[in-house]
């Protein structure tokens, strides 16, 4: 599968939402995950009395997303599960409970557990349907599209994408970042269908939305340019493809670092395009570089695993 952006299910804030949570979400949306974590970690502790129990569940959800953006999937899973424990018992928080299930499903997808991801995100979609949350249905359907693509189930992917865009028409207030990410999923579906012109058009929509809302240096643009470069490469327009890939790597290196999963996936996508264009030696060098970095990261993560992932649960 190509590099994709999971569509994060945002919390359903009330008018009395604590300002710390809004600030943390804004920081995380801008890619400043460490700053968001610094705000959220003290708030979720049992001894903290700054939040209501419902807001603490929302804080755990936001913290999980911040850790997920840093590729720390064990901590993200722990945070989402803590949020589930709180919000699942609150009948008035079903939309936020659905958001957590959707995000937890995203972690399962990122770690290759596609059946678990599908189960969680289907539950999230049904919860959103039960409360008439069109934005949530669109987001869950888009994420289910990605799961179906990972499972090579194009028919299901098409159905889910159709649902997502029908629901978008009923959800005019959707967060622009989520709308842009949904367009990258639409582009991924088009690439899987070998409709590369449609993929480029969808990726361009994402680029336009993110540029308009965050400026040309926004880190998620690196993903969109990488995806568009892949589609141009499939069409044989290697000049534009290589330009897009190089721009993507520059953005991602500056914003997420060379060790991030986003950068490494973009590097592998660039290598694939280079190989197709005939630059096999450079493609091999990049592939080796990306795979070596990945292996080193896994080794470092495992060497620090004196506490098993189970202890986070």
Q: Are 98 and 9 in contact, with CB atoms under 8 Å apart? A: yes
For all residues of the chain together, what is the average pLDDT? Answer: 89
pLDDT at position 16, please? Answer: 73
What is the predicted pLDDT for the residue at 301?
52
Q: How far apart are CA 130 and CA 290, in angstroms?
A: 44
For 93-120, the pLDDT digits (tens) are 999 999 999 999 999 999 999 999 999 9
Are residues 182 and 245 both part of a single domain? no
Per-residue pLDDT at 298: 66
Residue 146 tokens, joined: 């990605």
Same domain membership, residue 124 and residue 256: no
What's the confidence (pLDDT) of residue 173? Answer: 80
Residues 251-258, mean pLDDT to the nearest whole number: 91
The confidence band for 89, taking pLDDT boundaries of 50, 70 and 90, is very high
Residue 262 lies in a domain: yes
* Nearest Cα residue to 200 out of 224, 179, 231, 222: 231
Residues 177 and 265 in one domain: no
pLDDT band at 17 (very low <50, low <70, confident <90, very high): confident
Could you tell me if 132 and 239 lie in one domain? no
Q: Indicate if 218 and 182 belong to the same structural domain.
A: no
Select from 139, 164, 193 the last residue of a domain: 193
State the total domains in the chain. 2
Q: CA-CA distance, 194 to 94, in Å (whole number)?
A: 38
Does 32 fall in a domain?
Answer: yes
Q: Determine which of 4-13, 162-171, 246-255 has the lowest per-residue pLDDT on average.
A: 4-13
Q: Which residues of 193-218 are buried (b: 16+ CB within 10 A; e: fewer)?
A: eeebebbbbbbebbbebbeeebeeeb
As a whole number of angstroms, the distance between CA 91 and CA 226 comes to 42
Residue 87 in any domain: the answer is yes
Q: pLDDT digits over 263-276, tens only?
A: 999 999 999 999 99
Q: In the chain, which ranges are continuous DSSP H helix?
A: 19-29, 33-43, 53-69, 73-87, 94-110, 114-130, 134-150, 154-168, 176-192, 196-214, 220-235, 238-255, 261-277, 280-303
Does the pTM of the predicted model rise above 0.85? yes
* pLDDT beyond 60 at 39: yes
End-to-end CA distance of the chain: 29
Domain contains 310? no
Both tokens assigned to 217: 């240096």
User: Residue 62 domain-assigned?
Assistant: yes
- Asked, for residue 277, whether it belongs to a domain, the answer is yes
Q: Say yes or no: 206 and 189 in one domain.
A: no
Final residue of a domain: which of 156, 171, 193? 193
The pLDDT value given to residue 299: 66
How many other β-carbons are positioned within 10 Å of the β-carbon of residue 91?
Answer: 7
Percent of the chain exceeding pLDDT 70 equals 90
189/213 same-domain check: no
Cα 40 from Cα 57, distance rounded (Å):
11
Mark whether 30 and 177 lie in a shared domain: yes
**Whether residue 283 sits in one domain with residue 250:** yes
pLDDT at 7 over 70: no
| Contact call for residues 181 and 206 (beta carbons, < 8 A) | yes
Residue 312 lies in a domain: no
Residues 175, 159 share a domain: yes
CATH number at residue 284: 1.25.40.10
Say yes or no: 62 and 174 in one domain: yes
What does the CA dihedral 262, 267, 272, 275 come to, rounded to 10 degrees? 180
Asked, for residue 9, whether it belongs to a domain, the answer is: yes
**Final residue of a structural domain among 193, 219, 245:** 193
Banded model confidence at residue 6, pLDDT cuts 50, 70, 90: low
Rounded to whole angstroms, the Cα distance separating 226 from 127 reads 34
Query: What is the DSSP track for 54-104?
Result: HHHHHHHHHHHHHHHHTT-HHHHHHHHHHHHHHHTT-GGGHHHHHHHHHHH
Pair 177, 240 in one domain:
no
- Could you tell me which of 197, 132, 200, 127 has the C-alpha nearest to residue 171? 132
Among residues 139, 72, 73, 150, the alpha carbon closest in space to that of 114 is found at 150
Domain range for residue 83?
A: 1-193
Q: How confident is the model at residue 296 (pLDDT cuts 50, 70, 90)?
A: confident
């Amino acid at each position: 599968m190509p590099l994709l952006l999971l569509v994060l299910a945002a919390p359903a804030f009330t008018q009395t939402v604590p300002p710390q949570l809004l600030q943390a979400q804004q920081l995380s949306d801008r890619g400043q995950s460490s700053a968001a974590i610094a705000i959220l970690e003290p708030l979720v502790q049992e001894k903290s009395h700054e939040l209501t129990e419902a807001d603490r569940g929302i804080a755990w959800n936001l913290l999980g997303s911040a850790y997920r953006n840093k590729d720390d999937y064990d901590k993200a899973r722990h945070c989402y599960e803590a949020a589930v424990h709180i919000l699942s018992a609150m009948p008035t928080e079903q939309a936020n409970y659905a958001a957590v299930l959707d995000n937890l499903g995203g972690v399962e997808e990122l770690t290759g557990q596609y059946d678990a991801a599908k189960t969680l995100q289907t539950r999230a979609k049904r919860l959103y349907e039960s409360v008439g949350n069109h934005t949530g249905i669109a987001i869950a359907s888009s994420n289910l599209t990605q799961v179906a693509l990972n499972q090579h189930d194009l028919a299901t992917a098409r159905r889910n994408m159709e649902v997502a865009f029908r629901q978008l028409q009923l959800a005019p207030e959707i967060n622009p970042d989520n709308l842009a990410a949904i367009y990258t999923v639409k582009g991924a579906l088009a690439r899987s269908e070998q409709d590369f012109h449609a993929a480029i058009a969808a990726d361009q929509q994402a680029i336009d939305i993110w540029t308009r809302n965050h400026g040309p240096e926004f880190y998620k643009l690196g993903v969109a340019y990488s995806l568009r470069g892949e589609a141009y490469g499939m069409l044989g327009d290697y000049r534009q493809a290589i330009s897009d890939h190089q721009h993507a790597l520059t953005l991602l290196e500056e914003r997420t670092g060379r060790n991030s999963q986003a950068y490494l996936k973009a590097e592998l996508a660039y290598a694939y395009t280079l190989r197709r264009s005939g630059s096999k030696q450079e493609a091999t060098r990049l592939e080796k570089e990306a795979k070596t970095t990945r292996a080193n990261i896994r080794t470092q993560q495992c060497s620090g695993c004196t506490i098993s992932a189970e202890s986070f649960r």
